[in-house]
Chains A and B, each alone.
Chain A
Amino acid sequence: MDLRGSSVINFTRSAFGVVFRPIESATKVVTRPLGNAWNGITHYNEVVEENNRLNDLVAFSEGSTISAIASVREAQELLSLNGLPTLAGISSCTAQVVGQSPSNFTQTVEINRGSECGLKVGMPVLNAAGMIGKITDVYNKRSVVMLLTDPGYSLAVKVVNIPAPTTTTTAAPGTVVGDTTTTTSTTTTTTLPRVTTTTGIPGFVPGVTIATSSTLAPLPGEVTVPVGDVGPNQPGKSTSSEITVPPGLDVPLRETGALEGRGISRTPIVRFIENQPRFGAVRIGSPIISAGGATSLAPPDIVIGSVSRIVNRTGTLGPILEVTLAANLKNLNFVRILLYQPSSERVVAP
């Protein structure tokens, strides 16, 4: 009876579809909560697990962006200063967040690692994006972490300011002042002098010696002259030399302050930033990293966040910086605890 391609059968099916589709749609709408409830019961853990994984990925990528900005500037500074301490070499312990505080007035979370892992009060806690807080209570198999947003939290931080576009004035020897040529550079490219680091050479004191390129063969167009008797700068003579910008001026400028939490509904702030002309104006988006130091509970250069708002104050009072944290504190899953103790708190063996 079912004739394939029969126009009568096709018409009947189409007519039934026209009548049945609204009924089917209505039934679907009515039973959707029931289905959702069932799916929620049976697939809830999978969804939560996937959500946590995706949150970690998002946090990782957000932190990586800020970390990359800071790292570029760090690298510039490292080239200029020939070495800075890093996080490498500090042992860590990975833990999972198992709960949060039921109080409305404290921002703490509980993790499933404790003293058995070597955790101690004060150790910094990070996730993939950056710092999230510090340990305040340690038990055998669990610990309590005070988040950065807790009003009781405070940490010494550094603000890495983005250098402003530099203006370089050059004057050729013997020219009149009025003929000065002004060049405005908007790039941050820095041409460093050719240097030879003497690592590994006997008698070398690390951090002291940066040998110039006098031992190298001169580059094309480069002239090697004895020091003191020729050139624009000679003893007892005028110094109408070319004004050059030293490479160190392009490195990021830093200022230290204190990060303070203000509760879960408000972003943390950085206080005690000084109005220094060399540091210049703080810019929105400047990275905030931990300052470190002998008494600080966190090692230097841990990413915390970026400046989201600047509240300028009159007089000598420096600005107050509102900070957007790199880590999303509302979706914490796996965290890492740096087994770091400041030198001032280390127990000296007898």
Chain B
Amino acid sequence: MIERVLLLAENRYARLILVGLMVLSLQTTVFNDMRPFGVCLQVMVLLAASAGLARGSDVGAIAGFIIGLLYDLVLTTPMGLCAAVFAIVGYLAGVGQSLVYEPTWWTRMLLGSIASAIGMILLPIASTVTGATGILNVRVLFVALIVGLFNAVLSVPAERLCRWALTEPAAVR
């Protein structure tokens, strides 16, 4: 029984959930109050993008889905909406990272920023697809720009956090 619990605790996605909960608590408290230019900073989408940057597109898509699902739990949007969008963000970040020859810290910043901005554009599009009206306007681009800029600053530590959380169990031991 304890072995099973330990195995579960060693699972990288279990660690990701714990990390995601921590970041989610920051998202709903500190970053919810910090609204530069009236835009709420989105560190959850950064976490999804960072997962893709750290471990590739496949793991990034799964991690993005899990992170988005956590975010859906605190939003009033349809359940699974953020999960789908963040899965795409994680996948795109992983694909972008694989296309870069000898990635550096600034390429990771750039990719994290672009992936976050894409996520902020995809989110209202997905909301519109699911029936929401009036949210697909010019302000979406402004929100994407601000979120992308601020997530670029935080992308390097976020990528390191995700790299640690998504490490294989054997490597952790």
Partner-B contacts on A (CB < 8 A): 99-106, 108, 136-137, 144, 146, 151-152, 260-265
Q: List 23 A-B contacts (CB under 8 A).
A: A99-B28, A99-B32, A102-B28, A102-B40, A102-B42, A102-B74, A102-B75, A103-B40, A103-B76, A103-B77, A104-B39, A104-B40, A104-B42, A105-B77, A105-B123, A106-B75, A136-B76, A146-B76, A151-B133, A152-B132, A261-B134, A263-B134, A263-B135
With a CB–CB cut-off of 8 A, which chain A residues contact B40? 102-104
Shortest CB–CB separation between residue B74 and chain A, in angstroms? 7
Number of interface residues of B (CB under 8 A): 25
Flag if A264 contacts B77 (CB, 8 Å): no
Task: Name the 7 nearest CB pairs between A and B, nearest first.
Answer: A151-B134, A105-B135, A102-B32, A104-B143, A105-B124, A104-B40, A151-B135
In the complex formed, the residue of B with least CB distance to A330 is B38
- Asked if B127 and A105 sit within 8 Å, CB to CB, the answer is yes
User: Which residues of chain A have C-beta atoms less than 8 A from B143's C-beta?
Assistant: 104-105
Instruction: State whether B134 touches A103 (Cβ < 8 A).
Output: no
Chain B proximity of A272: nearest CB distance (Å): 16
Contacts of B120 in A (CB 8 A): 104
Interface residues of B in 8-40 (CB under 8 A from A): 27-28, 31-32, 38-40
Q: Mark B54-82, 1 if CB is under 8 A from A, else 0.
A: 00000000000000000000111100000
Query: Using Cβ atoms and an 8 Å threshold, which residues of chain A touch B139?
Result: 263, 265
Provide the residues of chain B in CB contact with A99, threshold 8 Å: 28, 32
B28, B120, B147 — most chain A CB neighbours (10 Å): B28
- On whether the beta carbons of B76 and A102 are closer than 8 Å, the reply is no
Q: Which residue of B lies closest to A262 (CB)?
A: B134
The reply to whether B74 and A151 form a contact with Cβ atoms under 8 Å apart is no
Most chain A CB inside 10 Å of its own CB: which residue of B76, B124, B127: B76
Task: Report if B104 contacts A (CB, 8 A).
Answer: no
Interface pair A152/B32, CB less than 8 Å apart: no
Query: Which of A102, A108, A136, A265 is the one whose CB lies under 8 Å from B38?
Result: A265
Q: A101-B76, A103-B77 are in contact. Are A263 and B42 (CB under 8 A)?
A: no
**Cα–Cα distance between A101 and B28 once the two chains are bound (Å):** 8
